[in-house]
Amino acid sequence: MKAFKTFGMVMVLALALAMGAGCAKKNTEADTAAPVADSGNAALDAAAQQITDGIVYFDFDKYDIKAEYRDMLQQKAELMKQYPSIKVRIEGNCDERGTQEYNLALGERRARAAYEYMIRLGVPADQLEMISFGKERPAVQGSGEAVWSKNRRDDFNVIAR
């Protein structure tokens, strides 16, 4: 009887571990890529820096790419096509207003808008990934429209060169 109980406990534990392995993990500071080290190729490094530098900002509760950012995204796309080893994570962000769930969904729509725009410009999908941080990573602390407008954004993080 004891062997049966032990076997049953082992099976329950194994099942729990197997189910946990399929669950999505929450991003933590350790999960985020630090800037990729200098590759020794000045042109590649300059391209990666240019891709990282430009930020797309959004209006309140919106996720459409404004006309003022289209040229910048075109330049990012051209660099990514020129340097296919560059891989970029588009990070959607929101201001502090709204629930965590709402802002995660809105951040994902913002990241997806830039992702799809870059795909339409000819960037291969395997060079891009996206994530939403919702309101968890404000660029500027505080409240008020001047602060909030800087937190409603897509960041472009080069994760491989």
CATH number at residue 74: 3.30.1330.60
CA–CA distance, 104 with 85 (Å, rounded to integer): 29
| Residue 100 falls inside a structural domain | yes
| Residue 16 falls inside a structural domain | no
| Residue 144 falls inside a structural domain | yes
User: Could you list the residue range(s) of the whole structural domain that residue 157 is in?
Assistant: 56-161
pLDDT in tens, the chain (161 residues): 544 444 444 444 444 433 333 333 334 333 444 455 666 799 999 999 999 999 999 999 999 999 999 999 999 999 999 999 999 999 999 999 999 999 999 999 999 999 999 999 999 999 999 999 999 999 999 999 999 999 999 999 999 99
CA–CA distance, 83 with 44 (Å, rounded to integer): 7
What is the number of structural domains in the chain? 1
